[in-house]
Amino acid sequence: MFGSSTRTALAAASLLTVLGHKSAVMAQDNSNAVVVDGKTFVLNGDNVSYQFRVNETSGDLLSDHFGGSLDGSMFDAPPVEALGGWVGLNGRFRREFPDHGRGDFRIPAVRIRQSEGYTVTDLRYQSHDVIQGKPELPGLPATHGGEDDVTTLVVHMFDNYSSIAVDLSYSIFPKYDAIVRSANVTNKGTKNITVEALSSFSFDFPVEDLDMISLNGDWAREAHRQRRKVEYGTQGFGSSTGFSSHLHNPFLALAHPSTTESQGEAWGFSLVYTGSFSVDVEKGSQGLTRALIGLNPNQLSWQLGAGETLTSPECVAVYSDNGIGGMSRSLHRLYRNHLIKSKFAISDRPVLLNSWEGLYFDYNESTIYQLAEESATLGVKLFVMDDGWFGDKYPRTSDNAGLGDWTPNPERFPEGLSPLVQDVTDLKAGNTSTKMRFGIWVEPEMVNPNSSLYREHPDWALHAGPYPRTEQRNQLVLNLALPEVQDYIIKVIADLLDSSDISYVKWDFNRAMHETPSPSNDHAYMLGMYRVFDTLTTRFPDVLWEGCASGGGRFDPGVLEYFPQIWTSDDTDALERVTIQFGTSLAYPPSAMGAHLSAVPNAQTGRTIPVTFRGHVAMMGGSFGLELNPAELHEDEKAEVPGLIALAEKVNPIILTGDMYRLRLPEESNWPAALFISPDGAQAVLFYFQLRANVNHATPWIRLQGLDPQAKYTVDGKGPYSGANLMNMGLQYTFDSDFGSEVVFLERQ
Ligand SMILES: *[C@@H]1O[C@H](CO)[C@@H](O)[C@H](O)[C@H]1NC(C)=O
Ligand SMILES: *[C@@H]1O[C@H](CO)[C@@H](O)[C@H](O)[C@H]1NC(C)=O
Ligand SMILES: *[C@@H]1O[C@H](CO)[C@@H](O)[C@H](O)[C@H]1NC(C)=O
Ligand SMILES: *[C@@H]1O[C@H](CO)[C@@H](O)[C@H](O)[C@H]1NC(C)=O
Ligand SMILES: *[C@@H]1O[C@H](CO)[C@@H](O)[C@H](O)[C@H]1NC(C)=O
Ligand SMILES: *[C@@H]1O[C@H](CO)[C@@H](O)[C@H](O)[C@H]1NC(C)=O
Ligand SMILES: *[C@@H]1O[C@H](CO)[C@@H](O)[C@H](O)[C@H]1NC(C)=O
Ligand SMILES: *[C@@H]1O[C@H](CO)[C@@H](O)[C@H](O)[C@H]1NC(C)=O
């Protein structure tokens, strides 16, 4: 039996007890967001229910349901019977938070080593609390919301033998059909314990066929969508690089084999974390499928002294019966409104030009100003000076020196950055009266051995005792687990931002972590990094921060909480970008994606693509920019750029706030397309592409989604046509060559 001194009267509640905020004057009625009927807990969203209960005999938590809405009535299912064979009852149940060593042979959500060496845990229900709103997660990024947006259920569990306590925290955002879970482990005993594995979310699906969908890739090839059947046994992915990585994104979707982009059930799990992670999907001998997502056990081994707590990152789980697209839109809305804290989350982003592909390391005060001047002429609103501006004794004129020394290169900037920043911010963008803004690139978590910082503090770089410090791109990673390193970074970046009128920062991170002092250092690093991000973004709320890790190496919700946009990939080839950006949109709102029009032949692929197609692909990202030297553009390209900038500015508000419908996928069709619809439904913009010429073959109609069938819409001023016709019959366009593209505006009448 579980403890009798529960704070919420469990035994007394044989009647349905409805807990939750209820007020007649509230526009949003969350009154049934969390329903407790004594032994059963139900979290209800507009179109989702999540149910689990306590086995009253054993105190174990059993999963019942994660899917479409339930109404409280429940079929009295026959009890799970112990059958012959070696798998005991625990191995046959759908377990809500599977612990280790009690006859469940599937992967556990928690594994703890005690000082005696035991790894058995026996976590039983103790009590629960319901809280309006959502408490912060100490030291970690997390979704947030007020009492009207979110309700939290905390279930307290306890292992009597070891005195280990686990609190499971569930928050439901009813409007988003999103359930957020995290777990914390507290050592209430007297001897040390080591947490070897801790999942943020775990769910046991009933017996049914499932596909799993994930995003894999590598540097310059991020977010390629992969869909495979869940088979008996374990299948999973993760990152052990010390960062969320280009290799696998911390995101998992499960769906029925018949689920498509627009139809069928889909579940999305998105981990709000930037470090090493792991995703395991295991179809056990009984045919039940377990999904686990959380910290990577290979880089955890987290020691807890008496009274200490380890808090897992949180994982957002969404459910949709409108296909993979519906799942993505729930995540997008939640992240736009309840994760990204920046004031720029849904406000127009200035069109920028980044100097990297235009000049690389090769510039000085006058040549960089020239680039800014040419950018202004084209209508660019924000000029970004990328790598190459810093380093005093060890000037950053190539990638083999300077990282760590964030002072302007005195040869390139004899009077510091202020004169340049002043000159650039005096420029007017295009023919407007808008003053140009100035942005800067930094990579503060890194150090080159060729730097004053490294000469002074060699111990600040990550290293494992006597083992060689392997360099990548001639650089080492600073150990952000150390408070003195965090303080140094906060100080140098704050000083830089205080020194002149800098309104944008691109925060880069260009190598993986190798030799680390201990497995737990990975998570300690993350806690330190989040402290740095939190301190700086709180202190400089007017700065537009962009995350970057050699492109999309840290495209994750943990970074998004602090930085409203992330550089999606170092691959700026527009054809590659169609796949990468469609893939990234599986979990992340288009508002979060940085996307630039770059020069041809493309620096990564050597491919030459027309400027219009390049511009159209880039403006599907919330932060549109140029990544080139205008002086090197062909005349006809140059003539088109101001028009593309104007178009990007016109579509930007819809991209930032609207719902995205992936109408056709680049991996399935020669004609990928996406529709973005403004939140009020009054405006929409269609992006429609032809990848390769289509000789002697009819072109397909493109059928729209998400419109009001009754309403009438103009299509680029033509029409009006009914929403029903546009969705059921569609639109047709023809293209006569490779890389054709259309950007089409719809207005509701
Ligand atoms: C939820 O269901 C209602 C009624 O079926 C529907 O109108 C609404 O669009 C659904 N919401 C979402 C986010 O799917
Ligand atoms: C509850 O747990 C007991 C003891 O393990 C077990 O015998 C029983 O079948 C369980 N009941 C349910 C409904 O799972
Ligand atoms: C745990 O210990 C408490 C107090 O000794 C007891 O009341 C409770 O029944 C125990 N719970 C389990 C699951 O053994
Ligand atoms: C553990 O989590 C619960 C639920 O979020 C919270 O109430 C509690 O304060 C946490 N404990 C610590 C030590 O952070
Ligand atoms: C117990 O854990 C604490 C906190 O991590 C640590 O400082 C201490 O050295 C550990 N003690 C032993 C005996 O390992
Ligand atoms: C900047 O570089 C350009 C081109 O290399 C050169 O002509 C110019 O003299 C340099 N200006 C300064 C101030 O060093
Ligand atoms: C340090 O910088 C010097 C001069 O630029 C260069 O020759 C050397 O290779 C660099 N060393 C390393 C380890 O990158
Ligand atoms: C500014 O005006 C000139 C003359 O009308 C025009 O050629 C140029 O394209 C305009 N620039 C922008 C960025 O719109």
Q: What is the pLDDT of residue 76?
A: 83
Residue 59 scores a pLDDT above 70: yes
Residue 125 CA to ligand 3 center (angstroms) comes to 10
Residue 9 scores a pLDDT above 80: no
Q: What is the pLDDT of residue 14?
A: 29
Q: What is the pLDDT of residue 6?
A: 33
DSSP, collapsed to helix, strand or coil, labels residue 176 as helix
The whole-model pTM stands at 0.95
**Distance in Å from the first CA to the final CA of the chain:** 63
**CA–CA gap between residue 167 and residue 310 (Å, rounded):** 11
* Cβ < 6 A, ligand 1 pocket: 46-47, 322, 326
pLDDT confidence tier of residue 74, bands split at 50, 70 and 90: confident
Evaluate whether 652 touches 354 at the Cβ level (below 8 Å). no
For ligand 2, atom 2, name the residue with the nearest CA.
Answer: 58
Residue 260 scores a pLDDT above 50: yes
Give pLDDT tens digits for 546-585.
999 999 999 999 999 999 999 999 999 999 999 999 999 9
Over residues 117-136, the mean pLDDT reads 98
Tell me if 522 CB under 6 Å of ligand 4. Answer: no
Q: What is the pLDDT of residue 88?
A: 86
Ligand 8 atom, smallest distance to 646 CA: 14
Evaluate whether 52 touches 182 at the Cβ level (below 8 Å). no
For ligand 8, atom 6, name the residue with the nearest CA.
Answer: 431
Evaluate whether 97 touches 168 at the Cβ level (below 8 Å). yes
Q: What is the pLDDT of residue 84?
A: 79
Give pLDDT tens digits for 76-97.
888 887 777 888 889 999 999 9
Q: Which domains does the chain have, with CATH numbers?
A: 97-338 (2.70.98.60), 352-658 (3.20.20.70), 684-748 (2.60.40.1180)
Residue 394 identity: Y
DSSP, collapsed to helix, strand or coil, labels residue 5 as coil
* Cβ < 6 A, ligand 2 pocket: 55, 57-58, 62, 79-80, 89
Give pLDDT tens digits for 575-624.
999 999 999 999 999 999 999 999 999 999 999 999 999 999 999 999 99
Q: What is the pLDDT of residue 81?
A: 77
Catalytic residues: 508, 570
Residue 676 identity: F
* Nearest CA-CA partner of 64 in 178, 179, 204, 171: 204
Tell me if 163 CB under 6 Å of ligand 6. Answer: no
**CA–CA gap between residue 134 and residue 144 (Å, rounded):** 6
Please, which residues have CB within 8 angstroms of residue 518's CB and are 6 or more apart in sequence? Answer: 301
Q: What is the pLDDT of residue 5?
A: 33
Residue 363 CA to ligand 6 center (angstroms) comes to 8
DSSP, collapsed to helix, strand or coil, labels residue 660 as strand
**Mean predicted lDDT score pLDDT of the chain:** 94
For ligand 8, atom 1, name the residue with the nearest CA.
Answer: 431
Evaluate whether 510 touches 473 at the Cβ level (below 8 Å). yes
Residue 161 scores a pLDDT above 60: yes
Residue 169 CA to ligand 3 center (angstroms) comes to 22
* Nearest CA-CA partner of 707 in 671, 672, 746: 746
Q: Is the peptide bond before 720 cis (omega within 30 degrees of 0)?
A: yes
- Which residue carries 């994930």 as its tokens? 214
Buried b (16+ CB within 10 A) or exposed e, 541-563: eebbbbbbbbbbbbbbbbbbbbb
Evaluate whether 60 touches 124 at the Cβ level (below 8 Å). yes
The first and second tokens of residue 632, run together, are 């090197």
* Nearest CA-CA partner of 171 in 144, 153, 192, 189: 153
Tell me if 585 CB under 6 Å of ligand 4. Answer: no
Give pLDDT tens digits for 699-736.
899 999 999 999 999 999 999 999 999 999 999 999 99
> Residue 635 belongs to what H/E stretch?
helix 635-657
Q: What is the pLDDT of residue 31?
A: 80
DSSP letter, residue 12: T
The residues that bridge with 292 in the sheet, in sequence order, are 202, 280
For ligand 1, atom 12, name the residue with the nearest CA.
Answer: 47
Tell me if 263 CB under 6 Å of ligand 4. Answer: no
The first and second tokens of residue 158, run together, are 């306890």
The first and second tokens of residue 156, run together, are 């307290």
Q: What is the pLDDT of residue 19?
A: 38
Ligand 7 atom, smallest distance to 397 CA: 5
> Residue 726 belongs to what H/E stretch?
helix 723-728
| Alpha-carbon distances, residue 173 vs 19, 339, 698 (angstroms) | 15, 12, 45
Over residues 368-379, the mean pLDDT reads 97
The first and second tokens of residue 149, run together, are 């947006």
Ligand nearest to the CA of 391: 7
Residue 59 CA to ligand 3 center (angstroms) comes to 10
Residue 745 identity: F
- Which residue carries 């201990």 as its tokens? 518
Residue 232 scores a pLDDT above 60: yes
**CA–CA gap between residue 646 and residue 352 (Å, rounded):** 13
**CA–CA gap between residue 106 and residue 94 (Å, rounded):** 11
Question: Beta strands of 137-296 (E only): which ranges?
Answer: 151-159, 164-173, 178-187, 193-205, 211-216, 224-229, 233-239, 251-255, 266-271, 277-283, 289-295
Give pLDDT tens digits for 435-485.
999 999 999 999 999 999 999 999 999 999 999 999 999 999 999 999 999
Q: What is the pLDDT of residue 29?
A: 60
**CA–CA gap between residue 126 and residue 279 (Å, rounded):** 28
Ligand 8 atom, smallest distance to 645 CA: 13
Residue 399 CA to ligand 7 center (angstroms) comes to 9
Known binder of ligand: residue 175?
no
* Nearest CA-CA partner of 315 in 342, 283, 290, 278: 278
Give pLDDT tens digits for 397-446.
999 999 999 999 999 999 999 999 999 999 999 999 999 999 999 999 99
Residue to mutate, 428, 431, 432, ligand 8, most ligand atoms under 8 Å from C-beta: 431
Evaluate whether 127 touches 136 at the Cβ level (below 8 Å). no
Q: What is the pLDDT of residue 529?
A: 98
Half-sphere exposure of 549 (CA within 13 A, CB side): 25
* Nearest CA-CA partner of 624 in 442, 378, 423: 378
